[in-house]
Amino acid sequence: MLKPESFPIEKIYVPVKTRKALKPGVVQEIAESILEIGQQAPILIRADEDRFVLVEGLHRLEACKALGETTIMGLLVSAENAHYKAHLPQSLELEAERQKMERLRKLRLEKEVAEKLAVSSSPVTDTETPGLAPEHRNRLITTPRQSGRGTSASKPKTLSEWRAQQDRNNGQY
């Protein structure tokens, strides 16, 4: 079984035909994944005189380049294995990588939505009203309809009303 090694990126040649399949969006997704969890799947390369030729892993290679890496984890395969791999319509490894990236993208989107909901649902925090007991803090959380002071010309009586008025004045509502 082959063991992943570290290879200098500058010595890896990407064939022109392979370069044409490059998708910048995929490169960005993989770069984000590498930043979060590291490179999980090694690229496949073969030796060719004083350089290496990329067999599989174009998007991983480009993601590492974009991140400023000088080396990348890879497996050195023989020319025969490389030829066989290159003629597979879509290898199982590529499909597994695509599925992993899709799962990571969904998780990232779910995390962003959860963070936005958490921020938008926290009405008043202890840092916003220092020294105010929780039972009194809840009295400040009113809407203009509840308090009967819904006009923009009226002076706000609570922190919530003041913020809402500031947001309206700044064009956020």
DSSP notation for 105-116: HHHHHHHHHHHH
Residue 47 is part of which domain span?
5-95
Number of domains in the chain: 1
pLDDT: which is higher, 153 or 48: 48
- Read off the pLDDT of residues 25-40 as tens digits, 9 standing for 90 and up: 999 999 999 998 889 8
CATH code, domain carrying 22: 3.90.1530.10
Residue 25, domain member (yes or no): yes
Comparing 129 with 103, the larger pLDDT belongs to 103
Beta bridge partners of 89: none
Whether 126 shows a pLDDT value over 70: the answer reads: no
Please check whether residue 35 lies inside any domain of the structure. Answer: yes
Task: Return the higher-pLDDT residue of 160 and 107.
Answer: 107
Question: Distance (Å, rounded) from C-alpha 75 to C-alpha 93?
Answer: 13
Shortest CA distance to 53 belongs to which of 28, 19, 93? 19
In a domain, 119, yes or no: no
> What whole-number percentage of the chain has pLDDT above 70?
68
pLDDT of 148 reads: 46
pLDDT tens string 89-113? 455 566 667 777 788 888 888 888 8
- Tell me which of 150 and 98 has the higher pLDDT: 98
Q: Is residue 39 part of a domain?
A: yes
In a domain, 147, yes or no: no
Q: Which of 50, 68, 69 is nearest to 12 (CA)?
A: 50
CA angle centred on 3, ends 73 and 81, rounded to 5°: 90
- 46, amino acid identity: R
Query: Is the confidence at residue 1, as pLDDT, over 60?
Result: yes
